[in-house]
Amino acid sequence: MEIVHVAAECYPVAKAGGLGDVVGALPKYQAELGHVAKVVMPMYRTKFLYTNEWELVHEGGQQMGSHFFHYSVIKEKTNKLGFDLYLVDINGLLDREKIYGYDDDTERFMAFQIAVCDWISKWTHQPDVIHCHDHHTGFIPFMVKYCFAFSKLAGIPTVFTIHNAQYQGWISWDKYYYLPAYDSYKWGLLDWNNMINPLASAVKCAWKVTTVSNSYLEEMRYAANGLENLFEYERGKSLGILNGIDTQVWNPETDNMIVKNYDKELVEKGKMRNKKELAGQFGLDPDKPLITFIGRLVGEKAADLLPEAISQSIYQHHGHANFLILGSGDPELEDRLDQMKHQFKGYYNSYIGYNEQLSHLMYAGSDFLLMPSRVEPCGLNQMYALRYGTIPMVRTVGGLKDTITDFGDWQGFGIRFNEASVWDITYSVGRAIDLYNNKPDLYSWMRSHMMTIDHSWDGAAQQYINLYQSLK
């Protein structure tokens, strides 16, 4: 099959979170299964762009409202990532350092989607499926069906994967003219609550809708940032496919971003060596359990609870655990988490910012990884933690619920709690300290057991193929 993935992120080209990891891995595994997998994404000014070789494959131009833009499509020459990678360059709009966060993100991603449809409509053949990811690509299922300029594409099946329904890309109706001319009877397919809503539109127009775990699919029917009824209505064409992880990138035996490689047999020594490195860098005590958090500092991740939960845990458990945070997001929270370093010197530290290498070292060198998320469609961190022998401490929600069991249950290998609250986190920290200090056999069994759990993409990549095949 020929599959075209369209997304705003793809690791290692550009990544802001788990979307990048998924789009960097799924096509590779689909290619390994013998399919032609392509990724089309915006051309940002990232290191990957400047350190690789490209060929020009197409140049075109299109109208976005009254604005005419030129675009070009370049292809990475060597198939370095294991799939065909195409970048869409639109001067002045896409070629920036960051992926998101600009005032004109609406225009940027609208132009990107128009360019993608225009380019594919110039192909001499048609792909078997166009697979769009999240709201930045959410107009494509509508555009291929109803925009006159792309009528040639109307028969191509579209699949839309929701990685996160919190962000929907709302646009006010006074920008309706950005979309290329379409059958105006269909305007309702763009609308949700009097706004143009690309996520809602994709759910209405795509042939199939997937989310990244089964639990999240269920949860969206009663908590989807205003789209609950839509998910209930479209339940019949929706399904959950749990993400995998790229076991070539995330492998403690070969990872060159950590200081000591290890496998299941050498896990104790290997982790200790990495922990000592972290403890040295951040002024922590390697003999105490190290509990870390890695992620976006936003409400969904319940990162706002961290300052209070960490202070309470340090007081209530008499400093018997150390904490380390890696994250960026809400500026006020960044400041608080940064300031706390001085108050809890020797017990707590943080790195505010994005640091891929440090994240690997933290998965390897931590004893526990905390994820108190309010919303977690899938979550990849907990799966990386399992692979690196780090015990996940997770709130029972979304993909966390589908991947982690509690050590109090039969053969459980993690720590679960029900509420995103300071109390639940502090209590769980107590359980972690007790496990670390007083239950060495159980702790060591959990570690080696979790490292054997297979969360590779093999199964999920095939599930997507089966889904595409069902659309033929």
Residue 243 makes contact with ligand GLC by CB under 6 A: yes
Residue 53: contacted member of ligand ADP, ligand GLC, none (CB under 5 to 8 Å, by partner type)? none
> Of 23-31, 135-143, 289-297, 303-311, which part binds ligand ADP (CB under 6 A)?
289-297
H helix runs in 68-227, sequence order: 105-121, 140-146, 198-205, 214-219
Q: Would you say 418 and 230 are in contact if contact means Cβ atoms under 8 Å apart?
A: no
- 359 in contact with ligand ADP (CB under 6 A): yes
Using CA atoms, how far residue 13 sits from 28, 94, 115, 214, 454, in Å, is 14, 14, 19, 29, 26
Identify residues 7-26 at the interface with ligand ADP (CB under 6 A). Answer: 17-19, 21
In which order are the strands placed within the sheet that holds 290-297?
A: 348-352, 322-329, 290-297, 368-371, 391-395, 415-417
> What is the side-by-side strand order in the sheet with 208-211?
54-64, 67-76, 84-89, 36-42, 2-6, 129-133, 158-162, 208-211, 238-240
* Residue 356 near ligand ADP by CB under 6 A: yes
Q: Answer with the entry of ligand GLC, ligand ADP, none that 238 interacts with (C-beta below 5 to 8 A by kind).
A: none
**In 82-240, which ranges are continuous DSSP H helix?**
105-121, 140-146, 198-205, 214-219, 228-233
- Choose which of 378, 397, 429, 435 interacts with ligand GLC (CB under 6 A): 378
Minimum CB distance to ligand ADP smaller for 296 or for 449 = 296
Q: Does 380 help bind ligand ADP (rule: CB under 6 A)?
A: yes
302, exposed or middle or buried, with CB in 10 Å at 0-12, 13-18, 19+? Answer: buried
- In the complex, minimum distance from the CB of residue 163 to ligand ADP, in angstroms, rounded to a whole number: 7
Nearer to ligand ADP, 73 or 364 (CB): 364
Q: How far apart are CA 238 and CA 227, in angstroms?
A: 14
Partner whose footprint covers residue 167, from ligand GLC, ligand ADP, none (CB < 5 to 8 Å by kind): none
From the CB of 124, what's the least distance to ligand GLC, in Å?
A: 33
Residues 304-333 that bind ligand GLC (CB under 6 A): none
Q: Is 299 helix (H, G, I), strand (E, B) or coil?
A: helix
**Is residue 354 within the footprint of ligand ADP (CB under 6 A)?**
yes
Exactly one of 310, 380, 385, 451 binds ligand GLC (CB under 6 A); which one? Answer: 380
429 Cβ contact list (under 8 Å, min separation 6): 291, 309, 313, 317, 321, 393
Give the span between the Cα atoms of 347 and 287, in whole angstroms.
Answer: 12
Helix, strand, coil shares, percent, the chain, to 5: 40, 20, 35
141 binds, among ligand ADP, ligand GLC, none (CB under 5 to 8 A by kind): none
Is position 326 an interface residue for ligand ADP (rule: CB under 6 A)? yes
> How many whole angstroms separate alpha carbon 379 and alpha carbon 390?
15
Q: How far apart are CA 66 and CA 71, in angstroms?
A: 16
182 to 211: interface string for ligand ADP, x by CB under 6 A: ------------------------------
Identity of the residue, 72 or 359, whose beta carbon is nearer to ligand ADP in the bound complex: 359
- Looking at residue 103, the DSSP 8-state letter turns out to be T
> Could you say which of ligand ADP, ligand GLC, none residue 212 binds, taking C-beta under 5 to 8 angstroms by partner kind?
ligand GLC
Report the nearest approach of ligand ADP to the CB of residue 356 (Å): 5
Give the footprint of ligand GLC on this chain (CB under 6 A).
17-19, 22, 163-164, 212, 243, 376-380, 399
Give the footprint of ligand ADP on this chain (CB under 6 A).
17-19, 21, 294-296, 326-328, 354-356, 359, 378-381
